[in-house]
Amino acid sequence: MKVFKFGGASVKDADSVKNVSRVLETQGFDSCLLVVSAMGKTTNALEKVVADYFAKKDYHIPLDQVKRDHLEISKDLFAEDHAVFAEIRLYFKEVESFLKRNKSPNYDFVYDQVVSCGEMISSKILSQYLNDIQFKNTWCDAREFIKTDHNYREGNVNWEETEKRIATLDQHRCYVTQGFIGSDEHNFTVTLGREGSDYSAAIFAYGLNAESMTIWKDVPGVMTGDPRKFSQVSLMDHISYEEAIEMAYYGASVIHPKTMQPLKQKNIPFYVKSFLQPEAAGTKVGITDHKNQQQSFILKENQHLMRIATRDFSFIAEEHLSYIFSLLAKNKIKISLMQNSAISLDLCVEDLYHMIDELTAELQTAFQTEIIKNVSLYTIRNANLEESNKIYQHKNVLMEQLSQKILQVVTN
């Protein structure tokens, strides 16, 4: 069985949904499972609904706009009396009903119940459209198969229970399901982290012992750099699991950090291909003895650079580090780069959940802190030191680190 993942850009409008069928024509639609993200920028729009809800603003305005957008897309795909229109309206009615009766002050819990609506609706639209044009499939709810703890917005998978449930799927049928979501033991929706649909596809591939997994993107495959950020990049046609894991760790946007581990455990080949050129080879990730020596560039933007120092000029010791790391974990702030001296610790961090001010306030009770917000982190793998500085030569370098031909530079 094959697993295909279609992201938001590949189902952003009616023409894109129709293009999915053209991709499937080139790949074959026998025995496959499609994992679908929310359409276009729907997740961002639903995040605005949650933010307005907690800010006591009129959240109906952005919610109604999301509903209108989906109904408009559907008008170009279905007849006026199609059952899908009632299903779309029902999903939005359920969101409104939830927000009206909700008593929980837990932002992350509310976020997961609301934002997951995007995947539910997009998968319904795609499944119905494919059935109408004779790509016969069964829609299924990913929350019935991917079981997690209740760490809302970044759920941890219960692998034993999840694998058992996924194994009940018929390997000879075709399915359409959602990325990004699972559910806890009380059947509340739990999301798997921003951009987590790739991870969902890997979970399903693992549970199905899939023949392969393919992620369909708007780029030809894994490139030596994001073509929107760097010039003269090229396609990497074949890389190892280890290289892909390393690139994801450093922030390559084309690969989700958690995707590779379940695939590597069962040696499931992983392809990154273009939905604009589905017959092109793309990039294969798998077992290989070939060590890729191409210089590659990764840019992580919207980072923050923190300097944490002891107040009495004592050494940054193990107990200090333990306390600092516990606060980072508590606030769900991830370290992208770390450098320490005798009396200070420099951290380049990623703040997905906008908790940096809370973290800073807690740290200042015990340390002196400085912070520079919205910096950029360049990572250059297989760095050519004579040439690599060209990509940031007009930037103000705040921190630099070199190890095993991996150069990392923080700039603003």
d(CA 375, CA 397): 10
d(CA 238, CA 355): 38
8 annotated as a binding-site residue: yes
Closest CA relative to residue 267, chosen from 249, 236, 242: 242
373 annotated as a binding-site residue: no
The beta strands (E) that lie in 228-321 are given as 238-240, 270-274, 283-286, 296-310
d(CA 255, CA 357): 29
Name residues whose C-beta falls within 8 Å of residue 64's C-beta, 6 or more positions apart in sequence.
none
CA angle 195-190-158, nearest 5°?
Answer: 100
Angle between helices 318-330 and 356-363 (to 10 degrees): 150
**Secondary structure (H, E, C), 150-218:** CCCCCCCECHHHHHHHHCCCCCCCCEEEECCEEECCCCCEEECCCCCHHHHHHHHHHHHCCCEEEEEEC
Other C-beta atoms within 10 Å of 156: how many?
12
5 annotated as a binding-site residue: yes
Name residues whose C-beta falls within 8 Å of residue 26's C-beta, 6 or more positions apart in sequence.
278, 279
67 annotated as a binding-site residue: no
Up-side HSE of residue 305: CA atoms within 13 Å toward CB? Answer: 18
d(CA 125, CA 16): 12
Q: SS3 for 222?
A: coil
CA 299 to chain centre: 16
d(CA 90, CA 101): 16
User: Residue 330: what residue type?
Assistant: K
228 annotated as a binding-site residue: yes
325 annotated as a binding-site residue: no
d(CA 327, CA 335): 12
315 annotated as a binding-site residue: no
Residue with tokens 């018929």: 170
- Which residues are annotated binding-site positions for substrate? 43, 119
- Which residues are annotated binding-site positions? 5-8, 43, 119, 228
- Which residues are annotated binding-site positions for ATP? 5-8, 228
